[in-house]
């Protein structure tokens, strides 16, 4: 099978051909590499919080697995010579593609026709335009040539990795890239989209450069072959304004179509990964707002009590901090970028992340609702109920606590629930109710 050329493999003894682009390796969110026969063209990405603000272009010669290793045999033999542009079947990229093809075709494995995989070539070396005709005389010649084509510039002797080819993203309030500037601070590329992400204009200020940003609407990666955007949990089609698969958290939103984008309001909401937004909850369980980041998280306001019933310090917040945090969430609900600011991070610090599954929340509720919340002098409403949650979401009930007799304690609550856990590593966090009686 060859990658980048016609590929051959067998399915149920039938001969199949296909075409595959050069493999792209997403090392992490900061480094993406495209493998060609002659060169690996990569991009480094820089972030401010969760927002990508710049990308640098780098390149390196392609070195197949085994390149430069000692050859087998007698001591002193030279290194293995592997033909440039070929990758062995043990290569992780090759194994991943082969296993994916096998899965898609319902096979246990793919029978490879060839013993190695051919990578797509960068093609003929392009002829670089004369820099003196394009730019001012004091403009660095190596920068001009590397901007035109990294591979060609390096072939004629320039080290483009030292030149620092860098581009900066300028997003709107929803994270969509409106325009891009180059390392000189000059406008380079401009995008005009509909509110739903369909591209209306894609303009360049220079005609001799090769870079075109793949990160566009909502700052997400644009797939050149399909025109769709990849959000992490699923793909979005801006032409018909819907997701192409079901929301992984669809069960939490039965009143919404699992294919609808940003609650059908893309001017207000952003959907960074195709799931639900993070909700902020007050001490009574009421939703204050959300951060517009659809990660399914839940944030609960911290207590304003200075100490727990047993006398220990609570680590809570003041009434002023509580009021300020709630005001911020209400004012900026749905605006993910507001929560990335210094003011937003301060407000977030007044909440605690209690992101748990629906099943875990239901189990916790089943324990604390043993106090009906209706007051009275009965034992049931004059003791604490609670337990702890394990890292895997399993709820363990503790107690209940002793019955509180306010007459004997002069109004002080001493019905504290005692926690006895053999291994603290089993505890993600604790929870308990307060007597309503």
Q: Tell me, yes or no, whether 112 and 209 share the same domain.
A: yes
Phi, psi of 432 (to 5 degrees): -160, 160
Q: Tell me, yes or no, whether 27 and 165 share the same domain.
A: yes
For residue 224, tell me if it sits in a domain: yes
- Cis bond before residue 400 (omega within 30° of 0): yes
Closest of 245, 1, 255, 252 to residue 111, by C-alpha: 1
For residue 415, tell me if it sits in a domain: yes
* C-beta pairs of 276-279 under 8 Å, 24+ apart in sequence: 276/247, 276/249, 276/252, 277/334, 278/355
Place of tokens 């929870």: 431
Q: Count Cβ atoms within 10 A of the Cβ of residue 153 and give its class: 0-12 exposed, 13-18 middle, 19 or more buried.
A: buried
Q: Tell me, yes or no, whether 127 and 146 share the same domain.
A: yes
Q: What is the pLDDT of residue 246?
A: 83
Q: Tell me, yes or no, whether 344 and 371 share the same domain.
A: no
For residue 1, tell me if it sits in a domain: no
Contacts of 260 (CB under 8 A, 6+ apart): 242, 243
CA–CA separation, 279 and 273 (whole Å): 15
Q: Is the four-CA dihedral 411, 414, 415, 416 of positive or negative sign? A: positive
Place of tokens 């390392």: 183
Domain around 64: 6-230
Q: What is the pLDDT of residue 259?
A: 82
For residue 274, tell me if it sits in a domain: no
Q: Tell me, yes or no, whether 135 and 173 share the same domain.
A: yes
Q: What's the structural domain count of the chain?
A: 4
Q: What is the pLDDT of residue 426?
A: 78
- In what helix (H) or strand (E) does residue 264 lie, and over which residues does it extend? none
Q: What is the pLDDT of residue 57?
A: 93
Q: Tell me, yes or no, whether 310 and 214 share the same domain.
A: no
Q: Tell me, yes or no, whether 108 and 67 share the same domain.
A: yes
Q: Tell me, yes or no, whether 251 and 131 share the same domain.
A: no
Q: Tell me, yes or no, whether 297 and 239 share the same domain.
A: no
Q: Tell me, yes or no, whether 202 and 301 share the same domain.
A: no
Q: What is the pLDDT of residue 253?
A: 63
For residue 333, tell me if it sits in a domain: yes
Q: What is the pLDDT of residue 166?
A: 92
User: For every residue of 6-70, which 3-state class applies, written as one string?
Assistant: EEEEEECCEEEEEECCCCEEEEECCEEEEECCCEEEEEEEEEECCEEEEEEEEEEECCCCCCCCE
CA–CA separation, 185 and 207 (whole Å): 17
CA–CA separation, 194 and 157 (whole Å): 44
For residue 314, tell me if it sits in a domain: yes
Q: What is the pLDDT of residue 181?
A: 94
The answer to whether residues 175 and 191 touch, using CB atoms and an 8 Å cutoff, is: no
Q: What is the pLDDT of residue 131?
A: 81
- In what helix (H) or strand (E) does residue 110 lie, and over which residues does it extend? none
Cα–Cα distances (Å) from 294 to 102, 207, 261, in that order, read 33, 39, 11
Question: Considering 353, 375, 401, which residue would you say is the last residue of a domain?
Answer: 353
User: For every residue of 382-425, which 3-state class applies, written as one string?
Assistant: CCCCEEEECCCCCEEEECCCCCCCCCCCCCCCCCCCCCCCCCHH
> How many Cβ atoms are within 10 Å of 359's Cβ, its own excluded?
11
Question: Considering 325, 353, 381, which residue would you say is the last residue of a domain?
Answer: 353
Closest of 187, 154, 169 to residue 58, by C-alpha: 154
CA–CA separation, 126 and 128 (whole Å): 6
Average pLDDT of the chain, as a whole number: 76
CA–CA separation, 364 and 394 (whole Å): 10
Question: Considering 173, 206, 230, which residue would you say is the last residue of a domain?
Answer: 230
For residue 104, tell me if it sits in a domain: yes
Q: Tell me, yes or no, whether 199 and 113 share the same domain.
A: yes
37-73 pLDDT tens trace: 788 889 999 988 778 899 999 988 776 655 555 555 5
pTM of the model: 0.57
Instruction: Look at phi and psi of residue 239 and say left if phi exceeds 0, alpha if psi is from -120 to 50, else beta.
Output: alpha
Alpha helices in 137-253 (DSSP H): 141-148, 150-155, 160-163
Residues of the chain with pLDDT under 70: 1-21, 63-97, 104-119, 248-255, 268-278, 284-285, 293-296, 306-315, 355-358, 373-375, 377, 404-419, 437
For residue 252, tell me if it sits in a domain: yes
Q: Tell me, yes or no, whether 324 and 374 share the same domain.
A: no
């Amino acid at each position: 099978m060859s990658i980048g050329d016609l590929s051959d493999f067998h399915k149920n003894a039938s001969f199949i051909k296909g075409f595959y682009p050069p493999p792209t390796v997403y090392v992490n969110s900061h480094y993406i590499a495209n493998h060609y026969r002659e060169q690996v063209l990569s991009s480094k990405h820089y972030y401010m919080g969760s927002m990508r603000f710049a990308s640098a272009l780098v390149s390196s010669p392609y070195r197949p697995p085994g390149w430069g290793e000692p050859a087998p045999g007698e001591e002193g033999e030279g290194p293995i010579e592997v033909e440039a542009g070929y990758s062995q079947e043990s290569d992780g990229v090759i194994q991943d593609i082969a296993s994916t093809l096998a899965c898609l075709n319902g096979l246990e494995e793919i029978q490879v026709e060839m013993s190695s995989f051919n990578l797509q070539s960068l093609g003929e070396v392009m002829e670089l335009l004369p820099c003196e005709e394009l730019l001012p005389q004091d403009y660095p010649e190596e920068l001009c040539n590397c901007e035109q084509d990294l591979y060609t510039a390096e072939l004629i002797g320039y080290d483009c990795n030292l030149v620092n080819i860098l581009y900066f993203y300028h997003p709107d309030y929803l994270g969509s890239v409106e325009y891009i500037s180059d390392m000189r601070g000059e406008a380079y590329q401009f995008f005009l989209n509909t509110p739903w992400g369909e591209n209306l204009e894609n303009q360049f200020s220079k005609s001799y450069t090769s870079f075109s940003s793949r990160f566009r609407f909502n700052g997400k990666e644009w797939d050149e072959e399909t025109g769709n955007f990849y959000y992490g949990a699923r793909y979005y089609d801006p032409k018909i304004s819907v997701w192409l698969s079901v929301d992984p958290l669809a069960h939490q939103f039965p009143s919404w179509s699992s294919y609808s984008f940003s609650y059908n309001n893309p001017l207000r909401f952003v959907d960074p990964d195709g799931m639900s937004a993070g909700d902020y909850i007050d001490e009574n369980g009421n939703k204050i707002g959300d951060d517009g980041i659809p990660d399914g998280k839940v944030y609960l306001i911290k207590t304003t009590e200075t100490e727990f019933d047993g006398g220990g310090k609570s680590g809570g917040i003041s009434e002023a901090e509580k009021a300020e945090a709630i005001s911020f969430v209400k004012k900026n609900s749905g605006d993910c970028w507001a929560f990335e600011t210094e003011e937003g991070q301060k407000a977030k610090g007044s909440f605690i992340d209690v992101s748990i599954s629906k099943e875990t929340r239901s189990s916790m509720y089943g324990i604390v609702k043993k106090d009906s919340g209706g007051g009275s002098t009965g034992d049931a409403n004059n003791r604490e109920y609670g337990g702890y949650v394990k890292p895997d979401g399993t709820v363990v009930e503790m107690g209940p606590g002793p019955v509180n007799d306010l007459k004997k304690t002069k109004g002080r609550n001493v019905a504290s629930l005692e926690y006895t856990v053999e291994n603290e590593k089993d505890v993600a966090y604790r929870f308990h109710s307060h007597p309503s009686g």
